Structure 1
């Protein structure tokens, strides 16, 4: 334990005991009955060490257990947020481009003539697009209203009032549905009673008709016509019993499960009543022209009585059918009105998904509007114009040719992941490997190919950039360019570090710091664009001056 070449320290400098001396001392101890204390001393030492160890552990546990988490926070403030897409491209000789509309329509305006110089972003021509402009305005208003409702929920008084309205709307819809069910059940129950009475009347009237036929008409010309009516009645009655066998059963309770059968049986029963009434109407007409066709006055009276009775049942069945139809229409209207009120109440409680949908709708409307415009992707000169105002064109028709004023342009392939963020006219800054990172050039997106280009197995889209302003005459083709495209810029927006935002079950959450000794508050937020510096836009859920937690050191 003392290392090679080192001696153990000397503990005793006096005479040393020999082996014999040690044995003698041992014998002396035995004779004097002296008990060695070595073992007791070892036990004592063990307990002392153990106790000290336990004490250290307990103290350490208490110190650690009392330690509170340390929060890293940042003050919420407004800032400028830039979203960028970075790509690498090559310098290419500049060329002219043919510009077209992205949709068909009638040309409303051509704002330049051949030889005119235009700046990047200038609207060269436009289609009739009043409806598209209105769609953009409407979509923006919807988004603003949704965000306003979302932000208002942070006010407890507003939130409480809105929740009362939501509860009332839900209760109203439930009541309307229950009333609709009850009213419709009442109509079907009444129809069932009318059907039972009509079936009974058909049986009675059919028996009278058969008696009249056999007694007074058999073998005569009228007999054939009456038999035809009887055949029609029998067919319709059989149809009723086929689709609704419960019509002849006792103790039937009407429920929504029987509505479909009743709907099928009612028209068949209506037709049966009409055929039977037609039979008695025929007899009444024949009796007027042939007074002695039915010799018995009693039988003639029976014909008139049954004609009246079956007409009454026919009217009742027709009314029952119409009442069911009217009740269904009324129910649908009332439920639709209640649903609309509930939808309005729910709209006061927008979610993150609702805001995203409204944003998507606005972007879609703006995209459709842009398709109706021909926008100069770079500064240049109008080379030719191939159309006239008022002309109807398709997306394949070349509207104007634009010749770049620059000697060179930049060509880059942007991946499918990023191409959706890039638009024609977006500004960009770039550096050239040949010039170093200190020399920065300005450029703008000119055109984006609609067809994909596969580069090393990756789907990309060729994008052309044009230099803005004067460029160094020493720039040469095929120089490598490092391009940062500004795809979005928002000023005076609330922005916080991306690491402060937590994703949970599809929602975005931040933790609000309220001071020492107070638990952090978790709050839902709506995020917007992500900036190049690691910050993200907060559309709603945070206010300027609050402090959010970016990291917890536990």
Structure 2
């Protein structure tokens, strides 16, 4: 519930008093003797005036969280105690996680290796690698030359004889097929045809082998020269640098290693309970060695920097306050403490309880004090108006007419008689009001303690 208030600070040479009521009373002389013995007097003076809307609520933390693990396991480490101040990201507790830690280390090494391989690829070959490739080319060329020089005249002569023999075998097979008498079973003719085909194949093979030797080549020589081509291609590629395909492959290996590392880290994180924000440990529910499960609270953490005050403001007063408005905060349990705050949020939807309509309001507490605790009752005073060095009169000396359009005071004249005088009101509060016309500084006004002269303010 909210309360409208006003505060006056009188500019008095001899004394400055903080409380409105006492500041007003300081201007009262002793009760006058007859004929003013039933009057209470006040000397009109100047001062600073502010009006406020006050509301009472409770101190609450900025954030509160019940922390739990995302996996089932046995609590291995508990790194905090009640009341400990922790930082965001700090590991508060851990489950048994040797396997998960090893998986992270392996994944990290794999990622570093993939990155190293790409770096080496982009850096190009060093002198040792180039020398090794050139040596491979020279070695292959030497082997090919040796294979080519290994063919002799005797090898060619032997190949010629083998070819001649294969041709003779083909001629004999063809003659046998062409002179075969008729009337024999078909299988006999098929056999003769097969013999002709085999002899023809063998003759062709012998011819090719003879040509290879005559041309200075053989299967061994061809293979040797293929090795030369392969070694030369490897050297050319080494000198040309990596291809786009090789770079893309290296990038893919890095990406795959990164995904593996992130997966391993997530699995490890599921075994660790970390602070989601800076705060204070207010509860611990599990002991070392106990089993935990997802959703099972382990630690409660609150964020007290800053605290905020949650209050409810009456619908009548809600229009007088606005977000970012400053507020003074006093805590019942710490009467000597006054904190500064800022109105942070006004609820869009009111609370209607038994016909009483209030709006939830949150006030950010800007100061800090180690004595402040969550749950303490506090009052916020929102400054809704301020006037400096104005004529001020306690509201109890003012009479309003029924329509509320005119205001009057009892002015004490020099002959100790009272004159009802109309005044113009400026800023109005519950305790004091500003006078804009009708009185001067130093005028003395009165109120009849018996209540016979006129009604009190607001009636």
Please tell me the TM-score bracket, short chain as reference.
0.3 to 0.5
TM-score by length of 1: 0.29
TM-score by length of 2: 0.34
Going by fraction, where is helix more abundant, 1 or 2? 1
Going by fraction, where is strand more abundant, 1 or 2? 2
The structure having more radius of gyration, on CA atoms, is 2
